[in-house]
Every structure is written in structure tokens, then in C-alpha cells.
Amino acid sequence: MRSKEQIDEIIRLLELKYPLAECSLNYEKDYELLFSTRLAAQCTDERVNVITPALFERFPSLEAFAGADVSEVEKYVHSCGFYRSKARDIVRCAQILLEKHNGRVPDTMEELLELPGVGRKTANLILGDVFGKPAVVVDTHCKRLSNRIGLADNLNDPTKIEMELRKILPAEKSSDFCHRLVLHGRAVCNARKPRCEDCCIKHLCQTFSG
């Protein structure tokens, strides 16, 4: 496990390297981020961004999604994989948002987790990006880098990693830090062959041996 001084330095260096800590999913409305994140499960953000413009144009409101034929939504999201369950979840989620939340995306973990297809990763993303609340989004990049760097102690369970990171990260920086791990994971610390020679935090990494 890294010391507090090391963690603070890791945060500082990643802030310098990736000043714009933004979600890579494109959206304009809160519920669009919610639906895009559902589509991104087992799919790349790039692919989701390709298909959502047509999807959101065809269904321009929550009411349109709530009244949609699931089979038609399936046609728009087919290339994202698991399209049947994703289309079903999106339509049902729209209905619940209108029925129980007055057409608004809820701002608590408990309420978000009650929505179809929403797990802790999605809920944290919404809480952090939409509502500016402390959040820890544990996706594949966050999971991989947290273990490699030494922020998590060989943990595989995303919830356990989330809880560990919550203990050591400043709450106000946690959401942006997770976005920066994604950026660093894509650019440098990839799964198969990390480019340690190009890493700005290699001297603070638990697994760097150079």
C-alpha cells in the first residue's frame, strides 16, 4: 500500500498529466449519461458514442423512451452487445424515472441502485459527474491500475476496491481521480503491455521494476 505522501503525489502528477478529467461518454441530458453508461457495459465508450446520436434523435425525451417499443430500441443499440437486456433496461428505466422520480435522475446511491441495469459503477458515475458528489467509479481501468500502483491490495471485487479508495482519496478529488485513471490506463498503463517508460508515476508504482 502506498503512503499518504505517495498517494498525494500520484494525484498531483496525474492532475498535471491529465488536467481535463472528463467522462468520455457524450451526453447533454442527465438521463442520457445514465443510458449511455448502461450501453457501455462490456462495450467501449467509443462505440457507444457512435450509436447514441441516432438513438437520442429518435427518442428525444424520457417520454419517448418510456413509450418506445423495446424491439426498436434494440435496433439502435445492437452493435453495443447484449442489446436485448440493454434496450429493455433503458425503456424500463425511463418509465421508472417518470413514474417515481418526476422525470429526474435521482441523486442518491440507494435510489440509483433501484433502477434497472444500474450498479455501483454507474451510480457513482452519475453522482460524481452529474451531481458533483464524492464518487469512486471502479471500471476495468481503475481496477487494474489501483492494483498495479498499490492503491488496492490485490483486490478483484470492484466494491472492495471502491471502499479501499474511499479510505485513501480526498473525497473532493475522488471522482476526477478515477477519470484520470481511465485516461492513464488507455494512454499508458494498458492491460497487456504497459508502457512504463512513458509513465509519469512509475517511481511511485508498486509494480514498476525499472
Please give the grid coordinates belonging to residue 193.
Answer: 503491455
pLDDT at position 153, please?
86
pTM over 0.75: yes
pLDDT, one tens digit per residue, over 185-200 is 999 999 999 999 999 9
Whether 121 is a known active-site residue: answer: yes
| Proportion of the chain in helix, strand, coil states, percent, rounded to 5 | 60, 0, 40
Q: Which of the residues 121, 143, 176, 202 is marked catalytic?
A: 121
pLDDT, one tens digit per residue, over 135-187 is 999 999 999 999 999 999 888 999 999 999 999 999 999 999 999 999 999 99
Tally of CB atoms within 10 A around 174: 21
Decide if domain 30-129 falls under CATH 1.10.340.30: yes
pLDDT at position 172, please?
96
Phi, psi of 137 (to 5 degrees): -95, 110
Q: Which of the residues 89, 129, 139, 176 is marked catalytic?
A: 139
pLDDT band at 210 (very low <50, low <70, confident <90, very high): low
State the Cα angle at 46 between 157 and 66, rounded to 5°: 80
Domain boundaries, the chain: 4-21+135-204, 30-129
pLDDT at position 209, please?
81
Whose cell is 444500474? That residue is 118
Question: Crossing angle for the helix pair 83-100 and 30-39, nearest 10 degrees?
Answer: 150
Fold of 4-21+135-204: Endonuclease Iii, domain 2 (1.10.1670)
Mean per-residue pLDDT, 117-140: 97
